[in-house]
Amino acid sequence: MFTPTGPDRRPWLRPLIALGVLGVTTAGFWALTLLSDDGKPSAEVARYAVAGDCLENRGTHAKPVMFTIPCSDTKADYKVMFSATAQGKCPPEFDEYTERGGRTGDTTLCLTQVRH
C-alpha cells in the first residue's frame, strides 16, 4: 500500500474556496435583484389601505385580488372612500370589498370606481 510522505497539503485552501463560492453566490443574487427591480414600490395587499388609497384588482370580479397602488397609475381600478370594518357593510352607492382573516380580523372597504 502506498502512503504519501510529502509535505502537508494546504488545510486552509478548502475553507478559502468555500468562502469564495459563498461570496460569488451572494454577489450573483444581489446583481439579479438589481437587474429585476423595476423601480416601483412593492405592492401591498388591500388590507392595509386607508381612505384615499387606490386599488388594482389582479383577480376577477367574482374573486378579486386587490393591491394598493398609486392613484396616478392607469391600472388603478378603485379608490377607497372609507373603511366600514366596524359596521361590516357599505352604503349601497359604494362597491364593497371584504378581506377575511389575518391578525386584524376582517377588513371591509367602501370603494368607488376610478375613471381614467
Domain boundaries, the chain: 44-113
Task: Evaluate whether 60 touches 70 at the Cβ level (below 8 Å).
Answer: no
Is this model's pTM higher than 0.75 or not?
Answer: no
pLDDT tens string for the chain (116 positions)? Answer: 667 676 667 778 888 999 999 999 999 988 888 787 665 555 577 888 889 999 999 988 888 888 999 999 899 999 999 988 777 788 999 999 888 876 667 888 999 999 87
Residue 44 backbone phi and psi in degrees, to 5:
-110, 145
Supply angle C-alpha 88, 94, 95, rounded to 5. 80
Task: Evaluate whether 68 touches 55 at the Cβ level (below 8 Å).
Answer: yes
Query: What is the rounded CA–CA span in Å between residue 57 and residue 66?
Result: 5
